[in-house]
Structure 1
């Protein structure tokens, strides 16, 4: 890979990560010069990275400016439908194909993440790692690619459902159930457990949005 291509990829990854961790939130304007200064790269790879992100619908035009995109109700619902099905498939395949070492890593993640239930931001990051580990344990590269796209789009949601009162503890219990099914090599049980986990997260997010509308 050429140095130019590497720089382009780095700029894309840096901006994507900044959106994912909430440095840039839906509606925030992204300016080439500011990004170049923040990340220490020239404006050309920044411009190319922004164009790529716009093509992927992670950025949108607001006049002449590019802003971080946001999802309306219908888009969010559509995303969760796709996520529920793909995540369920990943769990089923993980129950079939995961190595014993991969399963132990999932179990260790659940145990370690129990300490984060009162820190929604940290638990959200841990939650992404947990789900990514299941994706990888599916041993299906094409499924992993599609789930990567879904999870990139999830970054366009300004808040995490894990911030809801009591959601952290419940989500951890759900993660435990998912891993138990994978440990038992119960493909149907793992798939259903993860699909239910996604459905509950979606319902939690809908309630959060309804609360915000009521307060506004």
Structure 2
């Protein structure tokens, strides 16, 4: 009986995660051979993954090289407009459809994340998990797919607004307000709370960029 095949690693997911966690940052050059060696994947799936990421505008051309794309001011503003609306809708639907178990998980996330206030990088990853949980609690697969696309583009931001002094604690208070509204089944309040949260994050990022941080 033949030995079971080892599952092929998903080159696209591996590269995307590496960008998301900051292993590759905007402007960094991606080389097929180096990626293949790093991730233990053959060059063909790496090449296909790079082509896919370029099609999604997560990578761009610099001469003959592919580099991680960056967002200019207008692209950032456009991204936040879409994110604000879609995230707000997810919160509204979560208030209607989230199970008691999902609400408890969201509450636990907020409580657990307070231990990360002195670690902006870890808090940023926890923040992504929190928002993803709200997306799933909306119980709308098409909305989740669109939000996944938005959050892929968010990976192109080289810094996190949660690194700004005091922002992490404020953000967690905003998270709690969102969860409270979802738990109460108040769709309007959940929508408004999540929109305000994203708006504040955008404002914090703009101030940080203006200060040259």
TM-score by length of 2: 0.96
Structure 2 counterpart of 1:100: 100
- CA distances 1:150-209 after superposition (whole Å, capped 9, x unpaired): 001000010000001100000000000000001110000000000000000000000011
Structure 2 counterpart of 1:48: 48
- CA distances 1:73-108 after superposition (whole Å, capped 9, x unpaired): 000000000000000000000000001100100000
2:145 aligned with 1:145: yes
Report SS of the residue matched to 2:66: strand
Report SS of the residue matched to 1:201: helix
RMSD of Structure 2 on Structure 1 (CA): 1.1
Structure 1 counterpart of 2:161: 161
1-side partners of 2:208 and 2:50: how far apart? Answer: 30
Instruction: Name structure 2 gaps, 5 residues minimum.
Output: none
Aligned length: 208
- CA distances 1:109-146 after superposition (whole Å, capped 9, x unpaired): 00000111111000000000000000000000000000
Higher-helix-fraction structure: 1
2:124 aligned with 1:128: no
Listed as ranges, the matches of 1:178-193 within 5 Å are 178-193=178-193
1-side partners of 2:112 and 2:59: how far apart? Answer: 34
Report SS of the residue matched to 2:38: helix
Report SS of the residue matched to 2:89: helix
Structure 2 counterpart of 1:72: 72
Report SS of the residue matched to 1:22: coil
- CA distances 1:11-51 after superposition (whole Å, capped 9, x unpaired): 00000000000000000000000000000011000000000
1-side partners of 2:115 and 2:189: how far apart? Answer: 26
Instruction: Name structure 1 gaps, 5 residues minimum.
Output: none
